[in-house]
Chains A and B, each alone.
Chain A
Amino acid sequence: MTEQVQLHEQGRQDAGLSHAELWFRYFELGGMSTAIEVEAFLYGALVPTTHDSNLIAVALNERFSELGRNHPIPYDEEEDRDRAS
């Protein structure tokens, strides 16, 4: 999870998103955590659920897509698969 946290914070900086802008995008996607909580996820001060973590990844990847890049932030598929099966 620590690795994922670093990827997200690094991704946020690479994507040129402020914490507020990232939260807006995360919130649009259906996220239920507050802006302060999302910021705390990125600092590693709080641990997000897999779903929350993936929502942040989607928000970042869609931003990278807008910038004409690939989706560099990986998703955690484990829990999704467990629940789907």
Chain B
Amino acid sequence: MSDRACDGDLGVAVRFGADEVVVLLSGEVDSINAADLQLLLDALIDGGHRHLVLDLAEVTFMDLTALRVLADTARRVRQPPDVMKIRSPSATTRRLFDITALSMLVDLQAAEADAPPLGPEQTFDAPFGSMAHRSADVPDDLAVFAVVPAAAGVIVDAALEMVTALARATVGGADGVSVTLTRRGRLTTVAASDETIAQMDRDQYATGEGPCLAAAAEGRWFHVESLAEEDRWPSFVPRALDGGIGSILSSPLMVDARPVGALNIYSRSERAFGSREQELAALFAANASAILAGSGASVVGEEVAQRLQAALGIREVIAQAQGVVMARQKVPAEAAYAVLRRRSSKSNIPLRLLAGEIVASTHPQLPSTGNRS
């Protein structure tokens, strides 16, 4: 065990454990001290430490340079069985990870106390917490995603939770939404908008029948306009009526033209779903299918990672140019962006190049990184 601190406002402590190295960061990680962090992480990897845990519990600020360091490191340790885990990111950092899809490269974990060694699925702190709740009986079912890094299955679930939340917010008449997936040969609810809805899914698994199971098995949608008048699924229907459900719309989730699950939309009212709702349900089912289809190697592929790296660089340059305009013209951030946009539009110079020129004009010694090859 040894400790070391870097310059500036960044605090770093390194703990060497039997199986992993924990790097505890505190304070601000910015473009100035991110280089120190990079040196440290490189040294650890070069020293043969391939199981890294970055604890961000004490980090108060992290800029895009820092994020790029993490992305670089994540890519270096991406060969199994090497892993890099991020522990206790703040909500903002977590959001940044999600937006940049860096969350697909790393294993994001909740605070250490909340993270018993049960596997990533159990330790995951859902980013959309209040909008969606995982069903209580999450099994140890990472098998479907075994070919991708452990975190990917979790991230896919998070993405599906977002689809669920979006579907509920936008499909008229929807009182609840769930996503059901086949994992290890049996159906599991991976996202549900509330406990009643999770129970509706469980009732179908228990009785072995229902629109969700039918959609997942047959690969076409099933619409229960009025549960009271429904004569299919005699074991499940009474349970759903007891649960106060009036109508159900189940759309299949397809990967490689094969059904792998269903997106289920429940309403307390009868005949809640018309053609527009069916259309929207199909859209969200297609979205969920795309997420599942993309959860293979392609999503975490080298090309995407490099593209994101480049994009982060371009964003930095644009943000710097925006800062220059804010200072020069004494305008707030969005107005400064509008200035850049209008100037770019008028001169027909892409915004990233214009931003590079502006930044270069203030720091002639710095090379512009705003070029796209």
Which A positions have Cβ atoms within 8 angstroms of B?
24, 27-30, 32-36, 39-40, 43, 45-46, 51, 54, 58, 61-62, 65, 71, 75, 77, 79-81, 83-84
Contacts and interface: CB of A to CB of B under 8 A. Distances in A.
A40 B175 CA distance: 20
A27 B314 CA distance: 9
Contacts of B146: none
A83 B335 contact: yes
Nearest to A76: B338
B159 A80 contact: no
B319 A36 contact: no
Contacts of A27: 99-100, 311, 315
B341 interface: yes
Contact of A80 (B314, B338, B345): B338
Contacts of A75: 341, 345
Given A30-B337, A51-B337, A83-B334, A36 B163 contact: yes
B126 interface: no
Point out which of B314, B332, B339, B351 has the most chain A C-beta atoms below 10 A from its C-beta.
B351
B315 A54 contact: no
B275 to A, nearest CB: 16
Nearest to B284: A45
Contacts, number: 77
B338 A84 contact: yes
Contact of B351 (A24, A33, A34, A58): A58
B335 A36 contact: no
A59 to B, nearest CB: 9
B: interface residue count bin:
35 or more
Contacts of A34: 98-99, 162
A81 B4 CA distance: 49
Given A27-B311, A30-B315, A58-B351, A80 B334 contact: yes
Contacts of B314: 28-29
Contact of B307 (A24, A45, A54, A65): A24
A35 B318 CA distance: 20
A28 B352 CA distance: 8
Contacts of A39: 287
A4 to B, nearest CB: 16
Given A28-B311, A28-B314, A36-B162, A45 B337 contact: no
A77 B338 CA distance: 8
28 contacts: A24-B307, A24-B311, A27-B100, A27-B311, A27-B315, A28-B315, A29-B314, A29-B315, A29-B318, A29-B351, A30-B318, A30-B322, A34-B99, A35-B101, A36-B159, A46-B170, A51-B334, A54-B338, A54-B341, A58-B345, A65-B348, A77-B338, A83-B331, A83-B332, A84-B331, A84-B332, A84-B335, A84-B338
A33 B332 CA distance: 20
A33 B99 contact: yes
Point out which of A29, A58, A83 has the most chain B C-beta atoms below 10 A from its C-beta.
A29
